């Protein structure tokens, strides 16, 4: 009996895409905001008011990213400990270094997202239409 491998592959890709969309909606609020630079003056004003109304969700997303950043710091400590215990030149050393660098990059990205979320919240809170 033949197994249809291309359809399984396509189903796997569709599942990964769906999981990516779910993660995107869970981790970032930017899909909820409208572009306030396009359209007529009335449309831009309405989009800006909509964005100001959406600012209430920004602190919860900031807390999510703070938790992500804190978990990356904990992982970084674990991988650094693994790095000091592994002998240089071994595969364990290579993987520990790779995980350590990757975790540091994700931590840096989380810090940038936190800064953007806080700047957006402050902007929408203090700048009136």
Per-residue pLDDT tens digits for 62-120: 999 999 999 999 999 999 998 888 888 888 889 989 999 999 999 999 999 999 999 99
Backbone phi, psi, residue 128, to 5°? -85, 165
Query: DSSP assignment, residue 114?
Result: H
Which pair of tokens denotes residue 71? 């978990």
Q: What is the pLDDT of residues 26-69, one digit of tens each?
A: 998 988 999 989 999 999 999 999 999 999 999 999 999 999 99
pTM: 0.81
Q: State the number of CA atoms in the 13 A half-sphere of 21 facing the CB.
A: 5
């Amino acid at each position: 009996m033949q197994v249809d491998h291309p359809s399984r592959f396509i189903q796997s890709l569709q599942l990964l895409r769906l999981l990516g969309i779910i993660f995107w909606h869970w981790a970032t609020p930017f899909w909820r905001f409208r572009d306030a630079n396009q359209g007529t003056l009335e449309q831009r004003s309405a989009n800006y008011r909509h964005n100001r109304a959406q600012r209430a969700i920004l602190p919860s997303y900031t807390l999510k990213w703070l938790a992500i950043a804190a978990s990356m710091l904990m992982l970084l400590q674990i991988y650094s400990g693994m790095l000091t215990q592994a002998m240089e030149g071994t595969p364990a050393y290579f993987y520990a270094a790779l995980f350590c660098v990757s975790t540091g990059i994700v931590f840096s990205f989380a810090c940038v997202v936190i800064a953007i979320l806080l700047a957006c919240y402050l902007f929408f809170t203090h700048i009136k239409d």
